[in-house]
Amino acid sequence: MKKTKNSYKKSGVNIETADKFTDYIRKSSRLAFKKKLNKVSKNNIGNFASTFDISSEKIKDPLIVSSTDGVGTKLEVANTLKKFDTIGIDLVAMCVNDLVVQGAKPLFFLDYIATGKLNLPKMKKIVKGIIRGCKIANCILVGGETAEMPGTYEKNKFDLAGFSVGIISKKKMTNRNKVKTNDLILAIPSSGLHSNGYSLVRKLIKNKKIDGFLKKQLLIPTKIYTKEILALYNKNLIKSSANITGGGITGNLIRSIPKGLTANIDLSKIKVSKIFKWIKKKNINDNEMLRTFNCSVGFCLIVDKNKCYKIKNFFKKNYKPYEIGYVSKSSKRINLLNKIKW
């Protein structure tokens, strides 16, 4: 038989490498989630579709809640620093943190990885991060897609997307209409930049040496808040919440309060971490900082002022919530008071 002059492999797509990667994900997922495999098919990964037995959750009148997201250009920083073991955690966090705003318990996660050429060592590190993120969020990696796309992605470039599914009882679904005047707004600290604002950060560090401080800060994984937030919802200690991502406090908090009420935020109370102070010094005005970055506030809670004292006990030292504002009547959705102390 004559050797073919043209083949899929010669065009840039290596099916054998893709199969090896799928096999690695399958084995890693089974090992990581073996205690939960009774809820899913052991053959999910590598199959045409994945299954999950929601009856095992024993939730009356269940609602399925879904969320999808990516990591943005934090991927480019990972490429620059050649560190890939944490961005998988970011991917899971960006999805499941949105789920818990609804009060939903994350059940399972799927990933999408696209690249010009599969680099197995790099991809394995990314998947290790995804599995680690799923374990933190107490959900299972059940499947996904890996696409090798020569010509679409430049050498060493890749993209990630995630999709998470959670569950909640219809009666327990969060309702922002529970928010009333005089409720307090609490800030939960972020772990750092999380996964937003990196296009601006990359512009600031372009053609400059990245020192030890930045190397440590730029790839700190996004904090996963699922355990603490779900515990608070289950104890009926919070009325509403907001995941502070793109758009910052101002762009996200307004989605968690009803019309006719305003969130009054005292900016001077925000405890700003070093990375945001560093960015601020690069000639970025306050408004731009607030709408681009989380500015050290990773999550916001809206709570009854009489229950506020109970909430701190659910969090570890570095993530203790603290008061930054209150709710009042007004047609203005958000009211910023004072200035951030950079």
Q: Residue 115 pairs with which residues in a beta bridge?
A: 148, 158
What pLDDT, on a 0 to 100 scale, did the predictor assign at position 41? 62
Boundary of a domain, candidates 112, 142, 171: 171
Looking at the structure, tell me whether residues 241 and 200 fall in a common domain. yes
The CATH number of residue 314's host domain is: 3.90.650.10
Domain extent for 97: 15-171
Looking at the structure, tell me whether residues 59 and 159 fall in a common domain. yes
Looking at the structure, tell me whether residues 32 and 111 fall in a common domain. yes
Looking at the structure, tell me whether residues 212 and 291 fall in a common domain. yes
Give pLDDT tens digits for 23-74.
Answer: 899 889 888 888 776 667 666 777 788 888 888 888 999 999 999 999 999 9
What pLDDT, on a 0 to 100 scale, did the predictor assign at position 283? 94
8 located within any domain? no
How many CB atoms are closer than 10 A to CB 185? 26
Looking at the structure, tell me whether residues 192 and 319 fall in a common domain. yes
Strands laid side by side in the 184-189 sheet: 240-243, 297-303, 184-189, 322-329, 261-266, 334-337
Looking at the structure, tell me whether residues 202 and 327 fall in a common domain. yes
Looking at the structure, tell me whether residues 152 and 181 fall in a common domain. no
Boundary of a domain, candidates 128, 154, 171: 171
Looking at the structure, tell me whether residues 310 and 190 fall in a common domain. yes
Boundary of a domain, candidates 139, 171, 203: 171
In the chain, which stretches have pLDDT less than 50? Answer: none
The CATH number of residue 119's host domain is: 3.30.1330.10
What pLDDT, on a 0 to 100 scale, did the predictor assign at position 42? 63
How many CB atoms are closer than 10 A to CB 331? 8
What pLDDT, on a 0 to 100 scale, did the predictor assign at position 8? 83
Q: How many contiguous H segments (helices) and E segments (strands) does the chain have? A: 11, 10
What pLDDT, on a 0 to 100 scale, did the predictor assign at position 1? 54
